[in-house]
Amino acid sequence: MAGQILPARKYVMRDMIRRELMQTVRSDFTLLEIGSWAGLSTSIWAQECQHQSKGTVFCIDTWEASLNVPEIMQKAAKRNRIYKLFQHNMRCSGYENIVFPIKASSDVMHNILKPQSFDLIFIDGDHAHTQFKKDLINYMPLIKDKGIICGDDLEHLPQDIDLGFARNHLEEDYIEDASNNQKYHPGIAVAIQEVFGSVSMKEGFWAMRKIGPEWHKVAF
């Protein structure tokens, strides 16, 4: 349970950060991750930043499991195993100099960080609707113009699911709609629909680009 990103999704994430880094001439590309767990997604960003010799990754996480996740994850977090594993993974991968963990609540940190200060923000914290939507709204102002906000675990676009069924399970982490055999994270799908209507998505990874005051889909 320490690494839960599907292989196909990893390639989408890697291709996107590679493209974003290649298109910028600045060396101060800044990336913020909300929810890092053991550092699998962190390593995807850091590997490409290191390869292109540009970019810094900041990670906000309490490293304490949410109540709606599997019990095995809750037990590991209570024993502080996950934060130690995150540190171990960054150290052994050689990313310590470009990855900076911030052990704090996302609810606190958005008030401390400066608006329009990140080129990319990846949201993968609590999947329950209330917290995910809060993170989404709180961190959108921190994106620079032409920057990207993105996330994990959008298995189906909002228009492709039964939103009524999803709304009955908003605070659950992961559900199955037996009527159509769809499995997905309801809180994320509904919050995306409420905030953006629709987003660009590939292999469960979603993204939107800020251009002026508006948000636009990203070409994968």
The yes/no answer on whether domain 7-155+201-210 falls in CATH 3.40.50.150 is yes
User: If you average pLDDT over residues 32-60, what whole number do you get?
Assistant: 96
Q: CB neighbours (10 Å) of residue 89? A: 20
pTM of the model: 0.94
For residues 138 and 106, the answer to whether their CB atoms sit within 8 Å is yes
Q: How many CA atoms lie within 13 A of 213 on its CB side?
A: 0
Query: Given the structure tokens 């993105």, which residue do they identify?
Result: 150
* Cα dihedral: 47, 57, 195, 10 (round 10): 10
Residue 1: pLDDT band (50, 70, 90) is low
Q: How far apart are CA 143 and CA 150, in angstroms?
A: 11
Percent of the chain predicted with pLDDT > 70: 95
Is the confidence at residue 144, as pLDDT, over 80?
yes
User: If you average pLDDT over residues 58-76, what whole number do you get?
Assistant: 79
Whole-number pLDDT of residue 26 = 85
Whole-number pLDDT of residue 67 = 67
Please, which residues have CB within 8 angstroms of residue 131's CB and are 6 or more apart in sequence? 66, 125, 187
Here the tokens at position 43 are 């390593």
Task: From residue 153, give the alpha-carbon distance in Å to each of 21, 29, 46, 109, 192.
Answer: 23, 25, 20, 23, 11
Tell me the pLDDT of the chain averaged across its residues.
94
Is the confidence at residue 103, as pLDDT, over 70?
yes
